[in-house]
Amino acid sequence: MTWLITGGAGYIGGHVVQQLLDAGERVAVLDDLSTGDRARLPKEVVLVEGSTLDRTALDAAIRDHAVEGVLHFAAKKQVGESVEQPFLYYRENMIGLQTVLEAAAEGGVKRFLFSSSAAVYGMPDVDLVTESTPCAPMSPYGETKLAGEWLVAAAGKAHGMSTVALRYFNVAGAASPELSDAGVFNLIPMVFERLTAGRAPL
C-alpha cells in the first residue's frame, strides 16, 4: 500500500515514515519544511516540497504515487502562537486540512488518518481523560483540531473513506538521533532547559 504523509519530515511524521518503511509499505511525503527537516527522511523516500494549501502539489502527489491512504500530520501546533495569530492557525490547520481532504476524495483515497490533539479537551476537571470526556478547547489551536475531527468524519461519510482521529498528549522520545525533537516548545527540550538552568521540571 502507498501512503502520503503530510508533515512527514516533522518529529511525529518522521517516526511514522520509518515505521511504515519497516513494515514494507510504500511512502511519499508532502512537507513545506517550515518546521520539518529533510534529514529525518531516508534517502529513498520521495519528498514533495509543498504546502497543504497547494492543491496542485497534492493532486500530483496522490496521482503520481498511486496513493491509497493519507496520514495527515501537517499543522501549526503552538497554543500561545495560535492565540496571537488565529487567522494563521485557521488557514493552515483548517483550510489546509480541507484542501488535503478534497484532493484525497477526488483522488480515490480510501483511508485517512488525522493527527488531532488532547488540546480538544481544554483543562478537564477529571482524573482520567477518555474519548467520552467533553471537549472544551481553550485556544484557536485546540479549536482547529476539534473542528478538524468533525470535518474528517463528515468527509469520510460523504466520500466512502475510512477515517480516524488520534488525540494525544505530549509526545516524547526518539527512535534514533535523526528523528529527535529539537523544538524549543516541546516537552523534552523544555524539561532539559529547566534542569540545565537549575529550575524544577514542568
Those residues whose C-beta lies under 8 Å from the C-beta of residue 124, and which sit 6 or more positions away, are 133, 134, 136
pLDDT tens-place string over residues 84-101:
999 999 999 999 999 999
Closest CA to 58 of 24, 116, 109: 109
- Indicate the pLDDT class of residue 202, thresholds 50, 70 and 90: low
The pLDDT value recorded for residue 179 is 64
The pLDDT value recorded for residue 21 is 96
Asked whether the beta carbons of 76 and 39 are under 8 A apart, the reply is no
Stated length of the chain: 202
More confident residue, 1 or 200: 1
H or E segment to which residue 166 belongs: strand 162-166
11, 90, 141, 168: the catalytic one is 141
* Range with the poorest average pLDDT among 9-18, 36-45, 61-70, 193-202: 193-202
Taking residues 11-38, report their average pLDDT.
95
Taking residues 15-39, report their average pLDDT.
95
Q: For the chain, which domains are there?
A: 2-169 (3.40.50.720), 175-202 (no CATH)
* Range with the poorest average pLDDT among 35-39, 74-78, 162-166: 35-39
pLDDT tens-place string over residues 124-143:
999 999 999 999 999 999 99
Is 90 among the catalytic positions?
Answer: no
